[in-house]
Amino acid sequence: MGEARRRLAEARVGHLGTVRPDGTPHVVVCCFAVDGDVLYTAIDHKPKTTTALQRIANLTTNPSATLLVDRYDDEDWSALWWVRVDGSGRIVAAGDDEHRRAVDLLAAKYAQYRDRRPEGPVIAIDIGRWTAWP
């Protein structure tokens, strides 16, 4: 699992999946950081159509969450890989110590967050399962 952990930690973009209240899937692209078996993604300043984000609503009714990262090169299939983590998502409010730690991790990974730290809630996913290929 060491290679999967490294690939996940180094990936710049992930695909976050949650479950809508009606049971249908919801997937968004996100920035994230990993600390052991906890993954963090923040609600940041990037333009959004609303501040009432579906992913937050989803996690309040069903904590099931997954994040997928991958490398796909249509010319060199020998270099393909993916890593998926599944777990239980929760919302960490601004002002909480865990929120500050999560934003510090995100700022260490992304220069954009060093310039403008996320002020909104943070989604924490307590990872229960790691799956990778190859």
Domains and CATH numbers, the chain: 2-133 (2.30.110.10)
Place of tokens 């929760």: 90
Residue 46 predicted with pLDDT over 90: no
32-68 burial code (b ≥16 CB/10 A, e <16): bbbeeebbbbbbbeeeeeeeebebbebbeeebebbbb
Q: Give the integer Cα–Cα distance in Å for 16 and 18.
A: 7
- Bridge-based pairing state of the strands 64-71 and 14-19: antiparallel
Phi, psi of 125 (to 5 degrees): -115, 115
Q: What is the pLDDT of residues 6-20, one digit of tens each?
A: 999 999 999 999 999
The pLDDT, as a whole number, for residue 51 is 60
Write down the pTM of the prediction: 0.93
